[in-house]
Chains A and B, each alone.
Chain A
Protein backbone atom coordinates (compact mmCIF):
# COMPACT_ATOMS: atom_id res chain seq x y z
CA UNK A 1 0.00 0.00 0.00
CA UNK A 2 1.33 3.32 -0.94
CA UNK A 3 1.56 6.06 1.60
CA UNK A 4 -0.96 8.83 1.37
CA UNK A 5 1.03 11.83 0.50
CA UNK A 6 0.05 14.85 2.52
CA UNK A 7 -0.01 17.74 0.19
CA UNK A 8 2.10 20.55 1.54
CA UNK A 9 0.10 23.72 1.44
CA UNK A 10 1.78 27.01 1.03
CA UNK A 11 0.89 29.04 4.10
CA UNK A 12 1.26 32.53 2.93
CA UNK A 13 -0.82 35.14 4.70
CA UNK A 14 -1.26 38.32 2.81
CA UNK A 15 0.13 41.01 5.06
CA UNK A 16 -0.78 43.92 2.81
CA UNK A 17 -3.97 44.76 4.66
CA UNK A 18 -2.25 44.46 8.00
CA UNK A 19 0.48 46.73 6.78
CA UNK A 20 -2.10 49.28 5.66
CA UNK A 21 -3.68 49.35 9.08
CA UNK A 22 -0.41 49.72 10.92
CA UNK A 23 0.72 52.54 8.67
CA UNK A 24 -2.56 54.34 9.31
CA UNK A 25 -2.18 53.92 13.05
CA UNK A 26 1.38 55.09 12.86
CA UNK A 27 0.39 58.22 10.96
CA UNK A 28 -2.29 58.93 13.52
CA UNK A 29 0.11 58.65 16.41
CA UNK A 30 2.73 60.72 14.70
CA UNK A 31 0.33 63.53 13.96
CA UNK A 32 -1.51 63.67 17.25
CA UNK A 33 1.40 63.15 19.56
CA UNK A 34 3.14 65.70 21.63
CA UNK A 35 6.22 64.27 23.20
CA UNK A 36 6.51 63.87 26.90
CA UNK A 37 8.87 66.52 28.07
CA UNK A 38 11.74 65.31 30.10
CA UNK A 39 11.53 66.78 33.55
CA UNK A 40 14.11 66.64 36.30
CA UNK A 41 11.57 65.38 38.81
CA UNK A 42 8.51 63.33 38.14
CA UNK A 43 5.47 65.03 39.55
CA UNK A 44 2.04 63.58 39.92
CA UNK A 45 -0.38 66.47 39.64
CA UNK A 46 -3.63 66.47 41.62
CA UNK A 47 -6.88 66.31 39.70
CA UNK A 48 -9.60 68.89 39.33
CA UNK A 49 -12.81 69.39 37.37
CA UNK A 50 -11.34 72.38 35.52
CA UNK A 51 -11.77 72.02 31.79
CA UNK A 52 -9.35 74.59 30.44
CA UNK A 53 -6.48 72.94 28.61
CA UNK A 54 -2.87 73.89 29.03
CA UNK A 55 -1.91 76.15 26.12
CA UNK A 56 0.76 74.75 23.79
CA UNK A 57 2.39 78.09 23.17
CA UNK A 58 3.33 81.10 25.26
CA UNK A 59 3.68 79.18 28.45
CA UNK A 60 6.03 79.27 31.41
CA UNK A 61 5.82 76.22 33.60
CA UNK A 62 7.02 76.50 37.16
CA UNK A 63 7.73 72.98 38.29
CA UNK A 64 7.93 72.51 42.04
CA UNK A 65 9.37 69.30 43.42
CA UNK A 66 8.00 67.90 46.68
CA UNK A 67 11.13 69.12 48.44
CA UNK A 68 10.78 72.66 47.19
CA UNK A 69 13.17 72.70 44.27
CA UNK A 70 11.97 74.96 41.50
CA UNK A 71 12.44 74.43 37.77
CA UNK A 72 11.33 76.59 34.89
CA UNK A 73 10.52 75.78 31.32
CA UNK A 74 9.57 78.23 28.63
CA UNK A 75 7.59 77.62 25.47
CA UNK A 76 7.49 80.43 22.97
CA UNK A 77 4.75 81.26 20.52
CA UNK A 78 3.90 79.28 17.42
CA UNK A 79 4.97 82.20 15.28
CA UNK A 80 8.57 81.52 14.30
CA UNK A 81 9.56 85.16 14.90
CA UNK A 82 9.22 84.48 18.61
CA UNK A 83 9.91 80.79 18.72
CA UNK A 84 10.91 79.03 21.93
CA UNK A 85 14.57 79.10 20.91
CA UNK A 86 14.64 82.82 20.25
CA UNK A 87 12.76 83.63 23.40
CA UNK A 88 15.05 81.50 25.53
CA UNK A 89 18.05 83.17 23.99
CA UNK A 90 16.86 86.66 24.80
CA UNK A 91 15.71 85.48 28.22
CA UNK A 92 19.20 84.27 29.03
CA UNK A 93 20.69 87.54 27.90
CA UNK A 94 18.45 89.73 30.00
CA UNK A 95 18.80 87.41 33.00
CA UNK A 96 22.60 87.51 32.77
CA UNK A 97 22.57 91.30 32.65
CA UNK A 98 20.18 91.53 35.58
CA UNK A 99 22.12 88.96 37.61
CA UNK A 100 25.39 90.81 37.14
CA UNK A 101 23.72 93.98 38.35
CA UNK A 102 22.67 92.44 41.66
CA UNK A 103 25.29 89.80 42.42
CA UNK A 104 28.97 90.30 43.06
CA UNK A 105 30.31 87.38 41.04
CA UNK A 106 29.40 88.17 37.44
CA UNK A 107 28.58 85.42 34.99
CA UNK A 108 28.89 85.33 31.24
CA UNK A 109 28.09 82.73 28.64
CA UNK A 110 29.89 81.82 25.45
CA UNK A 111 28.01 81.75 22.16
CA UNK A 112 28.12 77.97 22.19
CA UNK A 113 26.56 77.90 25.66
CA UNK A 114 23.86 80.30 24.58
CA UNK A 115 22.93 78.14 21.63
CA UNK A 116 22.77 75.09 23.87
CA UNK A 117 20.61 76.98 26.33
CA UNK A 118 18.18 77.95 23.59
CA UNK A 119 17.74 74.29 22.74
CA UNK A 120 17.42 72.93 26.26
CA UNK A 121 13.96 72.77 27.76
CA UNK A 122 14.39 72.97 31.49
CA UNK A 123 16.11 75.62 33.58
CA UNK A 124 16.98 74.12 36.91
CA UNK A 125 20.27 75.32 38.33
CA UNK A 126 21.68 78.41 40.01
CA UNK A 127 22.92 80.81 37.36
CA UNK A 128 26.50 80.40 38.53
CA UNK A 129 26.31 76.65 37.80
CA UNK A 130 24.49 77.01 34.51
CA UNK A 131 27.66 77.27 32.40
CA UNK A 132 28.95 73.90 33.54
CA UNK A 133 25.60 72.29 32.75
CA UNK A 134 25.44 73.85 29.29
CA UNK A 135 28.97 72.68 28.52
CA UNK A 136 28.02 69.11 29.37
CA UNK A 137 24.90 69.36 27.22
CA UNK A 138 26.91 70.88 24.39
CA UNK A 139 29.31 67.93 24.49
CA UNK A 140 26.31 65.59 24.34
CA UNK A 141 26.96 64.26 27.82
CA UNK A 142 23.25 64.30 28.49
CA UNK A 143 23.33 61.85 31.37
CA UNK A 144 25.90 63.81 33.30
CA UNK A 145 23.98 67.01 32.64
CA UNK A 146 20.76 65.41 33.85
CA UNK A 147 22.48 64.38 37.04
CA UNK A 148 23.20 68.03 37.73
CA UNK A 149 19.55 69.02 37.57
CA UNK A 150 18.31 65.97 39.44
CA UNK A 151 17.57 66.98 43.04
CA UNK A 152 18.07 63.38 44.13
CA UNK A 153 21.69 63.53 43.04
CA UNK A 154 22.71 67.15 43.29
CA UNK A 155 21.70 69.13 46.38
CA UNK A 156 22.21 72.37 44.43
CA UNK A 157 19.69 71.52 41.73
CA UNK A 158 16.81 73.89 41.23
CA UNK A 159 16.57 77.65 40.90
CA UNK A 160 17.38 79.36 44.22
CA UNK A 161 14.26 80.81 45.78
CA UNK A 162 13.42 82.25 49.16
CA UNK A 163 10.87 84.49 50.83
CA UNK A 164 11.81 87.89 49.52
CA UNK A 165 9.59 90.88 48.94
CA UNK A 166 12.32 93.32 48.04
CA UNK A 167 12.65 93.43 44.29
CA UNK A 168 15.74 95.63 44.58
CA UNK A 169 17.52 92.56 45.91
CA UNK A 170 15.83 89.86 43.92
CA UNK A 171 16.49 86.16 44.33
CA UNK A 172 17.31 84.17 41.22
CA UNK A 173 13.76 82.96 40.71
CA UNK A 174 12.58 86.54 40.70
CA UNK A 175 15.27 87.49 38.20
CA UNK A 176 14.14 84.77 35.83
CA UNK A 177 10.46 85.56 36.18
CA UNK A 178 10.91 89.30 36.03
CA UNK A 179 12.82 88.96 32.79
CA UNK A 180 9.73 87.41 31.24
CA UNK A 181 7.99 90.76 31.37
CA UNK A 182 10.54 92.34 29.05
CA UNK A 183 10.98 89.56 26.56
CA UNK A 184 11.22 91.45 23.30
CA UNK A 185 8.52 91.48 20.73
CA UNK A 186 5.60 89.23 21.25
CA UNK A 187 2.85 91.33 22.77
CA UNK A 188 0.63 88.29 23.11
CA UNK A 189 3.09 86.76 25.55
CA UNK A 190 3.00 89.80 27.79
CA UNK A 191 -0.80 89.85 27.68
CA UNK A 192 -0.92 86.18 28.57
CA UNK A 193 1.28 86.80 31.60
CA UNK A 194 -0.96 89.61 32.76
CA UNK A 195 -4.14 87.64 32.22
CA UNK A 196 -2.59 84.65 33.96
CA UNK A 197 -2.74 82.21 31.09
CA UNK A 198 0.99 82.02 30.54
CA UNK A 199 2.12 80.95 34.00
CA UNK A 200 1.36 77.45 35.14
CA UNK A 201 2.34 76.05 38.49
CA UNK A 202 2.97 72.34 38.44
CA UNK A 203 3.53 70.56 41.69
CA UNK A 204 3.22 67.09 43.08
CA UNK A 205 0.16 66.06 45.09
CA UNK A 206 2.19 65.47 48.21
CA UNK A 207 4.07 68.76 48.13
CA UNK A 208 3.74 70.47 51.51
CA UNK A 209 1.89 73.77 51.38
CA UNK A 210 4.76 75.86 52.76
CA UNK A 211 6.83 74.96 49.71
CA UNK A 212 4.05 76.01 47.33
CA UNK A 213 3.45 79.14 49.34
CA UNK A 214 7.02 80.33 48.85
CA UNK A 215 6.51 80.14 45.09
CA UNK A 216 3.10 81.79 45.27
CA UNK A 217 4.42 84.58 47.45
CA UNK A 218 7.24 85.19 45.01
CA UNK A 219 4.82 85.38 42.12
CA UNK A 220 2.70 87.79 44.10
CA UNK A 221 5.70 89.96 44.79
CA UNK A 222 6.39 90.00 41.07
CA UNK A 223 2.80 91.17 40.50
CA UNK A 224 2.02 87.92 38.76
CA UNK A 225 -1.12 87.62 40.80
CA UNK A 226 -2.92 85.61 38.21
CA UNK A 227 -1.66 82.21 37.23
CA UNK A 228 -2.90 78.69 36.77
CA UNK A 229 -2.43 75.41 38.55
CA UNK A 230 -1.74 72.46 36.33
CA UNK A 231 -4.02 69.58 37.19
CA UNK A 232 -5.12 66.27 35.78
CA UNK A 233 -8.66 65.67 34.66
CA UNK A 234 -11.19 64.43 37.17
CA UNK A 235 -14.70 63.46 36.27
CA UNK A 236 -17.35 64.72 38.59
CA UNK A 237 -19.20 61.98 40.38
Chain B
Protein backbone atom coordinates (compact mmCIF):
# COMPACT_ATOMS: atom_id res chain seq x y z
CA UNK B 1 0.00 0.00 0.00
CA UNK B 2 1.37 3.30 -0.94
CA UNK B 3 1.91 5.68 1.78
CA UNK B 4 -0.77 8.21 1.58
CA UNK B 5 -0.69 11.23 3.69
CA UNK B 6 -3.90 11.71 5.47
CA UNK B 7 -4.78 15.25 4.87
CA UNK B 8 -5.88 16.78 8.06
CA UNK B 9 -8.77 19.01 7.59
CA UNK B 10 -7.94 22.44 8.90
CA UNK B 11 -10.70 23.47 11.21
CA UNK B 12 -11.22 27.00 12.25
CA UNK B 13 -10.99 26.87 16.00
CA UNK B 14 -13.28 29.54 17.11
CA UNK B 15 -14.23 29.59 20.73
CA UNK B 16 -17.17 31.67 21.72
CA UNK B 17 -15.96 33.96 24.51
CA UNK B 18 -19.30 35.50 25.31
CA UNK B 19 -20.06 33.44 28.43
CA UNK B 20 -16.50 34.05 29.63
CA UNK B 21 -16.97 37.79 29.30
CA UNK B 22 -20.31 37.56 31.07
CA UNK B 23 -18.74 35.79 33.98
CA UNK B 24 -15.85 38.23 34.17
CA UNK B 25 -18.20 41.15 34.18
CA UNK B 26 -20.08 39.62 37.06
CA UNK B 27 -16.89 39.14 39.01
CA UNK B 28 -15.75 42.68 38.32
CA UNK B 29 -19.06 44.01 39.53
CA UNK B 30 -18.71 41.97 42.67
CA UNK B 31 -15.22 43.26 43.38
CA UNK B 32 -16.18 46.82 42.62
CA UNK B 33 -19.06 46.74 45.03
CA UNK B 34 -17.25 44.95 47.83
CA UNK B 35 -14.05 46.94 47.96
CA UNK B 36 -12.96 50.18 49.45
CA UNK B 37 -10.63 52.01 47.17
CA UNK B 38 -10.36 55.05 49.37
CA UNK B 39 -8.66 54.49 52.64
CA UNK B 40 -9.67 56.57 55.59
CA UNK B 41 -7.39 59.35 56.67
CA UNK B 42 -6.28 59.82 60.22
CA UNK B 43 -6.00 62.95 62.24
CA UNK B 44 -3.51 62.64 65.03
CA UNK B 45 -4.20 64.12 68.43
CA UNK B 46 -2.48 64.10 71.77
CA UNK B 47 -4.49 64.69 74.87
CA UNK B 48 -2.84 66.06 77.96
CA UNK B 49 -1.74 63.44 80.42
CA UNK B 50 -4.02 62.70 83.31
CA UNK B 51 -1.19 62.75 85.81
CA UNK B 52 -1.34 65.56 88.26
CA UNK B 53 1.19 68.13 87.29
CA UNK B 54 2.81 70.24 89.97
CA UNK B 55 1.62 73.78 89.77
CA UNK B 56 5.11 75.17 89.43
CA UNK B 57 6.00 72.85 86.59
CA UNK B 58 3.13 73.98 84.48
CA UNK B 59 3.82 76.27 81.63
CA UNK B 60 1.41 79.08 82.04
CA UNK B 61 -0.03 80.27 78.81
CA UNK B 62 0.22 83.95 78.19
CA UNK B 63 -3.20 85.53 78.59
CA UNK B 64 -2.92 87.44 75.36
CA UNK B 65 -2.19 84.29 73.39
CA UNK B 66 -4.93 82.06 74.71
CA UNK B 67 -8.21 81.66 72.94
CA UNK B 68 -10.87 79.21 74.02
CA UNK B 69 -13.47 77.75 71.72
CA UNK B 70 -16.59 76.13 73.10
CA UNK B 71 -18.43 73.99 70.59
CA UNK B 72 -22.14 73.60 70.91
CA UNK B 73 -25.06 72.42 68.81
CA UNK B 74 -28.63 73.48 68.91
CA UNK B 75 -30.61 70.25 68.88
CA UNK B 76 -34.19 69.20 68.47
CA UNK B 77 -36.04 67.81 71.46
CA UNK B 78 -34.63 64.48 72.65
CA UNK B 79 -36.44 61.27 71.83
CA UNK B 80 -36.51 57.93 73.60
CA UNK B 81 -34.80 54.88 72.30
CA UNK B 82 -37.42 52.19 71.69
CA UNK B 83 -35.14 49.32 72.62
CA UNK B 84 -33.53 50.57 75.79
CA UNK B 85 -35.85 53.35 76.88
CA UNK B 86 -32.88 55.67 77.21
CA UNK B 87 -33.14 59.23 76.00
CA UNK B 88 -31.51 59.95 72.67
CA UNK B 89 -30.38 63.40 71.63
CA UNK B 90 -32.37 65.08 68.89
CA UNK B 91 -31.09 66.03 65.48
CA UNK B 92 -28.70 68.96 65.18
CA UNK B 93 -30.45 72.13 64.08
CA UNK B 94 -27.51 74.48 64.14
CA UNK B 95 -23.86 74.33 65.11
CA UNK B 96 -22.39 77.16 67.14
CA UNK B 97 -18.96 78.10 68.34
CA UNK B 98 -18.58 80.30 71.38
CA UNK B 99 -15.18 81.76 72.01
CA UNK B 100 -13.39 84.02 74.41
CA UNK B 101 -9.86 85.30 74.73
CA UNK B 102 -7.57 85.00 77.70
CA UNK B 103 -8.84 83.73 80.97
CA UNK B 104 -12.45 83.60 82.02
CA UNK B 105 -13.25 85.66 85.09
CA UNK B 106 -16.85 86.07 85.90
CA UNK B 107 -18.80 88.19 88.28
CA UNK B 108 -22.54 88.18 88.70
CA UNK B 109 -24.95 90.94 89.69
CA UNK B 110 -27.81 90.52 92.14
CA UNK B 111 -30.12 88.83 89.63
CA UNK B 112 -27.52 86.21 88.78
CA UNK B 113 -26.74 87.58 85.33
CA UNK B 114 -23.06 87.91 84.55
CA UNK B 115 -21.72 91.41 84.35
CA UNK B 116 -18.58 90.63 82.42
CA UNK B 117 -19.40 87.86 80.02
CA UNK B 118 -16.87 88.11 77.21
CA UNK B 119 -18.22 85.20 75.26
CA UNK B 120 -18.72 85.78 71.56
CA UNK B 121 -20.25 83.53 68.98
CA UNK B 122 -19.04 82.55 65.52
CA UNK B 123 -19.70 79.96 62.84
CA UNK B 124 -18.06 77.03 61.13
CA UNK B 125 -18.54 78.39 57.64
CA UNK B 126 -14.97 79.18 56.58
CA UNK B 127 -16.01 81.66 53.88
CA UNK B 128 -13.93 81.84 50.71
CA UNK B 129 -10.18 81.78 50.23
CA UNK B 130 -10.07 85.53 49.64
CA UNK B 131 -12.53 86.41 52.33
CA UNK B 132 -12.26 83.99 55.21
CA UNK B 133 -15.13 84.10 57.66
CA UNK B 134 -16.20 82.54 60.91
CA UNK B 135 -13.69 80.53 62.86
CA UNK B 136 -11.13 80.57 60.07
CA UNK B 137 -10.97 84.34 60.06
CA UNK B 138 -10.46 84.43 63.81
CA UNK B 139 -7.66 81.90 63.70
CA UNK B 140 -5.99 83.37 60.65
CA UNK B 141 -5.84 86.80 62.20
CA UNK B 142 -4.31 85.50 65.36
CA UNK B 143 -1.82 83.34 63.58
CA UNK B 144 -1.16 85.66 60.66
CA UNK B 145 2.63 85.78 61.05
CA UNK B 146 2.88 82.02 60.76
CA UNK B 147 0.25 81.79 58.04
CA UNK B 148 2.11 84.42 55.99
CA UNK B 149 5.43 82.63 56.23
CA UNK B 150 3.86 79.29 55.42
CA UNK B 151 2.19 80.80 52.38
CA UNK B 152 5.53 82.13 51.16
CA UNK B 153 7.11 78.77 51.76
CA UNK B 154 4.32 77.05 49.88
CA UNK B 155 4.97 79.32 46.94
CA UNK B 156 8.62 78.21 46.82
CA UNK B 157 7.56 74.63 47.13
CA UNK B 158 5.04 74.93 44.32
CA UNK B 159 7.78 76.38 42.11
CA UNK B 160 9.76 73.21 42.80
CA UNK B 161 12.53 75.08 44.56
CA UNK B 162 12.65 72.56 47.37
CA UNK B 163 11.87 68.92 47.99
CA UNK B 164 8.79 67.78 49.87
CA UNK B 165 10.92 66.84 52.82
CA UNK B 166 12.60 70.23 53.02
CA UNK B 167 9.22 71.84 52.82
CA UNK B 168 7.81 69.74 55.65
CA UNK B 169 10.81 70.44 57.86
CA UNK B 170 10.76 74.15 57.22
CA UNK B 171 6.99 74.30 57.76
CA UNK B 172 7.39 72.58 61.09
CA UNK B 173 10.09 75.04 62.06
CA UNK B 174 7.88 77.98 61.23
CA UNK B 175 4.91 76.56 63.09
CA UNK B 176 7.00 76.15 66.22
CA UNK B 177 8.95 79.39 65.91
CA UNK B 178 8.61 81.04 69.28
CA UNK B 179 9.65 84.46 68.00
CA UNK B 180 6.37 84.75 66.13
CA UNK B 181 3.12 85.49 67.90
CA UNK B 182 1.17 82.28 67.85
CA UNK B 183 -2.11 81.65 69.59
CA UNK B 184 -2.75 78.85 72.02
CA UNK B 185 -6.11 77.33 71.25
CA UNK B 186 -8.14 75.49 73.84
CA UNK B 187 -11.01 73.47 72.47
CA UNK B 188 -13.94 72.57 74.67
CA UNK B 189 -17.31 71.17 73.83
CA UNK B 190 -20.68 70.90 75.47
CA UNK B 191 -22.28 67.45 75.62
CA UNK B 192 -24.64 68.47 72.82
CA UNK B 193 -21.89 69.28 70.35
CA UNK B 194 -21.41 66.75 67.61
CA UNK B 195 -18.29 64.79 66.81
CA UNK B 196 -18.20 66.37 63.38
CA UNK B 197 -17.72 69.79 64.95
CA UNK B 198 -14.78 68.57 66.93
CA UNK B 199 -13.12 67.26 63.78
CA UNK B 200 -13.91 70.49 61.93
CA UNK B 201 -12.20 72.53 64.59
CA UNK B 202 -9.18 70.25 64.69
CA UNK B 203 -9.12 70.57 60.94
CA UNK B 204 -9.04 74.34 61.19
CA UNK B 205 -5.92 73.97 63.34
CA UNK B 206 -4.23 72.16 60.48
CA UNK B 207 -5.46 74.57 57.87
CA UNK B 208 -4.30 77.59 59.83
CA UNK B 209 -0.98 76.00 60.85
CA UNK B 210 -1.61 76.28 64.55
CA UNK B 211 0.90 74.26 66.51
CA UNK B 212 -0.38 74.74 70.02
CA UNK B 213 -3.89 73.52 70.69
CA UNK B 214 -5.51 71.14 73.08
CA UNK B 215 -8.82 69.57 73.89
CA UNK B 216 -9.97 70.28 77.39
CA UNK B 217 -13.00 69.70 79.56
CA UNK B 218 -15.65 72.31 80.22
CA UNK B 219 -15.30 74.00 83.56
CA UNK B 220 -18.13 75.37 85.69
CA UNK B 221 -17.14 78.87 84.62
CA UNK B 222 -17.43 77.93 80.95
CA UNK B 223 -20.87 76.45 81.46
CA UNK B 224 -22.00 79.50 83.39
CA UNK B 225 -20.82 81.74 80.59
CA UNK B 226 -22.61 79.77 77.90
CA UNK B 227 -25.83 79.65 79.90
CA UNK B 228 -25.59 83.37 80.55
CA UNK B 229 -24.96 84.08 76.88
CA UNK B 230 -27.98 82.07 75.87
CA UNK B 231 -30.14 83.74 78.51
CA UNK B 232 -29.16 87.16 77.25
CA UNK B 233 -29.26 86.56 73.52
CA UNK B 234 -32.01 83.97 73.33
CA UNK B 235 -31.36 80.41 72.32
CA UNK B 236 -32.12 76.86 72.96
CA UNK B 237 -31.02 76.16 76.49
Contact = CB atoms under 8 A, between A and B. Distances in A.
B173 interface: no
A223 interface: yes
Interface string B81-108: 1011010110110000000000000000
Interface stretch (B139-147, B155-163, B202-210, B229-237): B202-210
Contacts of A151: 83
A147 interface: no
Contact of A50 (B35, B42, B129, B197): B42
B59 interface: no
Given A15-B20, A210-B191, A229 B196 contact: no
Interface residues of A, number: 66
Given A219-B47, A223-B49, A228-B43, A204 B203 contact: no
Interface string B56-77: 0000000000000001000000
Given A26-B24, A29-B28, A232-B41, A209 B189 contact: yes
B80 to A, nearest CB: 12
B110 interface: no
A73 interface: no
B24 A227 contact: no
A106 interface: no
B44 A52 contact: yes
A206 B92 contact: yes
B21 A33 contact: no
A91 interface: no
B170 to A, nearest CB: 17
A177 interface: no
Interface residues of B, number: 59
Interface stretch (A17-25, A110-118, A183-191): A17-25
Interface in A190-237: 196-197, 200, 202-213, 216, 219-221, 223, 225-234, 236-237
A101 to B, nearest CB: 23
Interface of A: 12, 14-16, 18-19, 22-23, 25-26, 29-30, 32-36, 45-54, 64, 67, 151-153, 155, 165, 196-197, 200, 202-213, 216, 219-221, 223, 225-234, 236-237
Given A51-B41, A155-B84, A213-B189, 4 more contacts: A19-B21, A19-B24, A25-B24, A48-B199
Interface of B: 14, 16-18, 20-21, 24-25, 27-28, 31-32, 34-50, 71, 81, 83-84, 86, 88-89, 91-92, 126, 128-129, 189-200, 202-203, 206-207, 215, 217
